């Protein structure tokens, strides 16, 4: 597993399996922790510029864990390692989630297993892309 970093790889450079992108800062003790729903809504504001559907409905988010401290762990993939925004999209996800009130430090870990397929898409995404 690679150490975390807070700067994105150059655009187009695919992240390595297990690479973790960090954003945000720990919350002060006693701060109300954000709901999972508010975090998902923040993720729905992130789009792959080549696909007119947000990354959450595309099925790129494999796991989301909100800790009692407000820290958030996200496990995500991309549509393909050679995705043109592979080096910037995970950092955008980390930054958008970290901006949610009640979220502390965010770690976005990249995985390529299992690989993303169209079967990961929500019904909303399939309708938007005319793939039903």
Question: What pLDDT digit, counting tens, does each position of 65-98 carry?
Answer: 999 999 999 999 998 888 888 889 999 999 999 9
Give the other-Cβ count within 10 Å of 97's Cβ. Answer: 25
- pTM across the whole model: 0.86
Q: Which pLDDT does position 7 carry in this prediction?
A: 38
Given a cut of 80, is residue 5 above it in pLDDT?
Answer: no
For residue 29, give the nearest of 68, 62, 3 by alpha carbon.
Answer: 68
Rounded to an integer, what distance in angstroms lies between the CA atom of residue 75 and that of residue 111? 7
Q: Which pLDDT does position 84 carry in this prediction?
A: 80
Q: Where are the domains of the chain?
A: 20-128
Rounded to an integer, what distance in angstroms lies between the CA atom of residue 10 and that of residue 66? 29
* Domain 20-128 CATH (choose: 3.40.50.1100, 3.10.20.90, 3.30.420.40, 3.30.300.130): 3.30.300.130
């Amino acid at each position: 597993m690679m150490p975390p970093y807070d700067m994105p790889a150059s655009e187009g450079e695919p992240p390595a399996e297990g690479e973790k992108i960090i954003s945000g800062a720990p919350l002060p003790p006693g701060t109300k922790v954000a709901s999972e729903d508010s975090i998902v809504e923040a993720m729905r504001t992130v789009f792959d510029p080549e696909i007119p559907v947000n990354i959450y409905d595309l099925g790129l988010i494999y796991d989301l864990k909100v800790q009692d401290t407000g820290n958030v762990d996200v496990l995500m993939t991309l549509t393909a390692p050679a995705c043109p925004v592979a080096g910037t999209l995970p950092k955008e996800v980390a930054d958008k989630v970290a901006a949610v009130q009640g979220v502390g430090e965010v770690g976005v870990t990249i995985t390529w297993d299992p690989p993303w397929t169209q079967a990961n898409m929500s019904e909303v995404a399939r309708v938007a892309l005319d793939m039903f």
